[in-house]
């Protein structure tokens, strides 16, 4: 049902422009500080043995694969966009991490890996762009080993930021494209001559339920960035203030329910039959 939409999104994400725009917007110095703190915290929860291998599903330019490699893990980085994989390869080469990070072109909704291939999977900011999210969830479940851990980062449709932006757009009659409420969240569809992009503000409860019905337990739900308002203002001091507030929220307030960014750590239950063998 979602196939033609999936093809349109694939075509859009094949182009380098959107990735360059994301890199310019999200990989500023303040966000680097945030990501470094967030990864230290996530890794402290995972307690993964050194040299464990992570699947970085939807790796983009490999910024997070590099963070994992710098924390002495190995990474199998995958993305379906050839243009972003070229950027990823150049990044990994510059950091001389070719031994630690292997890059491969893969579609998360049809992964070529065997069942139960990975102990750890990172899927950061990716499910929100996949029209057939159910298929992506089932593939991530399939390739994760029983007892393995999946870390996802998604945007929360019930955050103050998401609700405010939605209502402001409605009131002002603004916003390009089409917003659609679906069980998995609020999807914003925008179309250009090269294709279509979906960005979903997730219904986190729906996501958790889906993973639970795929034999996962929720280990932790963490607040990510409280707001992405910094992407909408141009004043430097205002941007810094917003980043400061995001850090305050992440470090001290920690409530994920009101925060836009949500990081969820899920563990796939052990397969009793396999454990006995
Ligand atoms: C917003 S970017 C996030 C990239 C990276 N995880 C990060 O946080 O920097 C989303 C990435 O997911 C990739 N992606 C989206 N759908 C995918 C799919 N079905 N299979 C593989 N990659 C996909 C896109 O090409 C893009 O690089």
Whether the Cβ atoms of residue 118 and residue 148 lie closer than 8 Å to each other = yes
Query: pLDDT of 185-233, one tens digit each?
Result: 999 999 888 889 999 999 999 999 999 999 999 999 999 999 999 999 9
The count of C-alpha atoms lying within 13 angstroms of the C-alpha of 273, restricted to the half-sphere facing its C-beta, is 0
Query: pLDDT of 53-68, one tens digit each?
Result: 999 999 999 999 999 9
Higher pLDDT, 13 or 178: 13
CATH of domain 3-156+203-270: 3.40.50.150
Q: What local confidence, expressed as pLDDT, does residue 169 receive?
A: 85
Q: What local confidence, expressed as pLDDT, does residue 194 receive?
A: 84
Q: What local confidence, expressed as pLDDT, does residue 171 receive?
A: 85
User: Residue 220: is it exposed, middle or buried by C-beta count within 10 angstroms (0-12/13-18/19+)?
Assistant: middle
User: Is 224's C-beta closer than 6 angstroms to any atom of ligand 1?
Assistant: no
Q: What local confidence, expressed as pLDDT, does residue 275 receive?
A: 47
Whether the Cβ atoms of residue 181 and residue 170 lie closer than 8 Å to each other = no
Between the CA of 127 and the centroid of ligand 1 the distance, in Å, is: 8
pLDDT above 80: residue 137: yes
> pLDDT band for position 164 (50/70/90)?
very high
pLDDT above 70: residue 274: no
User: Is 124's C-beta closer than 6 angstroms to any atom of ligand 1?
Assistant: yes
User: Is 245's C-beta closer than 6 angstroms to any atom of ligand 1?
Assistant: no
Between the CA of 273 and the centroid of ligand 1 the distance, in Å, is: 34
User: Is 79's C-beta closer than 6 angstroms to any atom of ligand 1?
Assistant: yes
Between the CA of 65 and the centroid of ligand 1 the distance, in Å, is: 13
Find the mean pLDDT for residues 75-99.
98
Averaged confidence pLDDT in the chain = 94
> pLDDT band for position 78 (50/70/90)?
very high
Between the CA of 58 and the centroid of ligand 1 the distance, in Å, is: 4
pLDDT above 80: residue 113: yes
Find the mean pLDDT for residues 130-143.
98
Residue that has been written with the tokens 């925060």 in this structure = 259
Query: Which helix (H) or strand (E) element contains residue 261?
Result: strand 261-268
């Amino acid at each position: 049902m979602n196939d033609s939409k999936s093809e349109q999104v694939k075509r859009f994400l094949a182009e380098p422009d959107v990735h360059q725009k994301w890199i310019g917007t999200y990989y500023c110095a303040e966000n680097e500080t945030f990501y470094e703190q967030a990864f230290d915290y996530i890794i402290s929860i995972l307690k993964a043995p050194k040299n464990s291998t992570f699947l970085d599903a939807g790796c983009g330019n490999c910024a997070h694969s590099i963070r994992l490699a710098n924390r002495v893990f190995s990474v199998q980085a995958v993305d379906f966009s050839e243009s972003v994989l070229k950027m990823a390869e150049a990044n990994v080469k510059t950091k001389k991490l070719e031994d630690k990070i292997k890059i491969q072109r893969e579609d998360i909704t049809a992964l070529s890996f065997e069942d139960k291939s990975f102990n750890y999977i990172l899927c950061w900011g990716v499910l929100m762009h996949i029209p057939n999210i159910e298929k992506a969830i089932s593939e991530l479940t399939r390739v994760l080993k029983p007892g393995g851990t999946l870390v996802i980062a998604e945007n929360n449709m019930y955050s103050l930021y998401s609700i405010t932006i939605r209502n402001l757009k409605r009131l002002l009659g603004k916003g390009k494209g089409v917003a659609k409420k679906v069980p998995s969240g609020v999807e914003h569809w925008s179309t250009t001559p090269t294709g279509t992009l979906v960005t979903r503000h997730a219904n986190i409860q729906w996501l958790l339920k889906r993973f639970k019905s795929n034999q996962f337990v929720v280990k932790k739900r963490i607040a990510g960035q409280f707001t992405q308002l910094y992407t909408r203002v141009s004043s430097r001091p205002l941007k810094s203030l917003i980043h400061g507030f995001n850090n305050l929220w992440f470090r001290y307030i920690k409530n994920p329910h009101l925060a836009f960014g949500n990081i969820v750590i899920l563990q796939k239950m052990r397969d009793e039959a396999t454990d006995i063998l």
